[in-house]
Structure 1
Amino acid sequence: MIVTSLLDTDLYKFSMMQVVLHQYPAAQVEYKFKCRTPGIDLVSCIDEIREELDRLCSLRFAEDELDYLRGWRFIKSDFVDFLGLFQLNAKYVRIYPAAAGNGEIEIRIRGPWLHTILFEVPLLAIINEIYFRRHFPHLDLSEGRRRLAEKIALLRDAPEYRECRIADYGTRRRFSRAWQEEVVTTLQAGLGGQLAGTSNVYLARKLGLTPLGTLAHEYLQAHQALGPRLRDSQVAALEAWAKEYRGDLGIALSDVYGLDAFLRDFDMYFCKLFDGTRHDSGDPFVWGERMLAHYRVNRVDPRNKVLVFSDSLNIPKVMQLYAHFRGRCQLAFGVGTNLTNDVGPAPLNIVIKMVRCNGQPVAKLSDSPGKNMCEDPAYVAYLRRVFGLPPEPSDPPIVVPQGAT
Structure 2
Amino acid sequence: MHKIINSLLETDLYKFSMGQAIYHHFPGYETTWSFKCRNEDVHFTEEMVEEIKHQIKMYCELRFSEEELKYLSSIQWFKKSYIDFLRLWHPRYEDFTFGTNSPCGLTIETNGTWLNTSMYEIPTLAIVNEVYFRMKYDYDKLMLSFKDRLDKKVEKLVSGEYNIGVFSEFGIRRRLSAEAQELAIKELMRDDYKGSKFVGTSNVYLAKKLNIKPVGTMAHEWIMCVGQGNHKHNPAYSNWYALDAWVKEYGVLNGTALTDTITTDCFLRDFKLTYATLFSGVRHDSGSPFEWGDKMIDHYNSLGIDPKTKTLLFSDSLNFEKADEINSYFKDKVKVAFGIGTYIANDTDVDALNIVMKTTACNGMDVAKISDVEGKGMCKNPDYVHYLRRTIAWRMEH
TM-score bin, normalised by smaller chain: over 0.9
Matches within 5 A, 1:222-237: 222-223=225-226, 224-226=228-230, 228-237=233-242
User: Conserved in 2, the CA contact under 8 Å of 1:313 and 1:338?
Assistant: yes
Give the one of 219, 223, 226 matched to 1:220. Answer: 223
Provide the C-alpha distance between the structure 2 equivalents of 1:20 and 1:191, rounded to a whole number of angstroms: 41
Given the two structures, how large is their TM-score scaled by the length of structure 1? Answer: 0.93
Are residue 189 (structure 1) and residue 190 (structure 2) matched? yes
CA separation of 1:175/1:138 partners in 2, compared to 1, >3 Å: closer, same or farther? Answer: closer
Are residue 40 (structure 1) and residue 45 (structure 2) matched? no
1:167-201 CA-to-partner distances (Å, cap 9, x unmatched) read 10000000001110011011113667711100000
Q: State the match for 1:344 in structure 2.
A: 349
Give the one of 198, 209, 212 matched to 1:206. Answer: 209
User: Conserved in 1, the CA contact under 8 Å of 2:133 and 2:139?
Assistant: no
Give the one of 345, 365, 387 matched to 2:370. Answer: 365
Give the one of 15, 18, 22 matched to 1:16. Answer: 18
User: Conserved in 1, the CA contact under 8 Å of 2:252 and 2:279?
Assistant: yes
AA matched with 1:172: R
Provide the C-alpha distance between the structure 2 equivalents of 1:337 and 1:389, rounded to a whole number of angstroms: 37
Q: What's the CA shift for 1:301? A: 0.4
Give the one of 1, 4, 7 matched to 1:5. Answer: 7
AA matched with 2:292: W
User: Conserved in 1, the CA contact under 8 Å of 2:184 and 2:345?
Assistant: yes
Q: State the match for 2:113 in structure 1.
A: 112
- Aligned residue pair count: 388
Provide the C-alpha distance between the structure 2 equivalents of 1:108 and 1:160, rounded to a whole number of angstroms: 41
Q: What's the CA shift for 1:229? A: 3.0
Matches within 5 A, 1:6-405: 6-44=8-46, 45-98=48-101, 100=102, 102-140=103-141, 141-158=143-160, 161=163, 164-189=165-190, 194-223=197-226, 224-226=228-230, 228-388=233-393
AA matched with 1:70: S
Q: What's the CA shift for 1:368? A: 2.0
Provide the C-alpha distance between the structure 1 equivalents of 2:32 and 2:354, rounded to a whole number of angstroms: 20
SS of 2:393 mapped into structure 1: coil
User: Conserved in 1, the CA contact under 8 Å of 2:236 and 2:395?
Assistant: no
AA matched with 1:86: W
Provide the C-alpha distance between the structure 2 equivalents of 1:364 and 1:191, rounded to a whole number of angstroms: 41
Provide the C-alpha distance between the structure 2 equivalents of 1:233 and 1:2, rounded to a whole number of angstroms: 36
1:239-261 CA-to-partner distances (Å, cap 9, x unmatched) read 10011011111100000011111
Deviates more, 1:183-192 or 1:269-278: 183-192
Q: What's the CA shift for 1:160? A: 8.6
Q: What's the CA shift for 1:117? A: 1.4
Q: What's the CA shift for 1:40? A: 1.0
User: Conserved in 2, the CA contact under 8 Å of 1:152 and 1:190?
Assistant: no
Deviates more, 1:246-255 or 1:129-138: 129-138
Deviates more, 1:1-10 or 1:382-391: 382-391
Provide the C-alpha distance between the structure 1 equivalents of 2:202 and 2:271, rounded to a whole number of angstroms: 25
User: Conserved in 1, the CA contact under 8 Å of 2:162 and 2:320?
Assistant: no
User: Conserved in 1, the CA contact under 8 Å of 2:217 and 2:254?
Assistant: yes
1:353-391 CA-to-partner distances (Å, cap 9, x unmatched) read 000000000000011221110011111111111112799
User: Conserved in 1, the CA contact under 8 Å of 2:236 and 2:266?
Assistant: no
User: Conserved in 1, the CA contact under 8 Å of 2:318 and 2:343?
Assistant: yes
Provide the C-alpha distance between the structure 2 equivalents of 1:329 and 1:365, rounded to a whole number of angstroms: 27
SS of 2:378 mapped into structure 1: coil
CA separation of 1:103/1:351 partners in 2, compared to 1, >3 Å: closer, same or farther? Answer: closer
SS of 1:194 mapped into structure 2: strand
Q: What's the CA shift for 1:159? A: 8.0
AA matched with 1:362: V
Gaps of 5+ in 1: 392-405
AA matched with 2:124: L
SS of 1:282 mapped into structure 2: coil
Gaps of 5+ in 2: none
When the two chains are superposed, the root-mean-square deviation of aligned CA atoms in Å is 1.7
Taking only the aligned residue pairs, the percentage that are identical comes to 40
User: Conserved in 2, the CA contact under 8 Å of 1:28 and 1:112?
Assistant: yes
Provide the C-alpha distance between the structure 2 equivalents of 1:191 and 1:87, rounded to a whole number of angstroms: 41
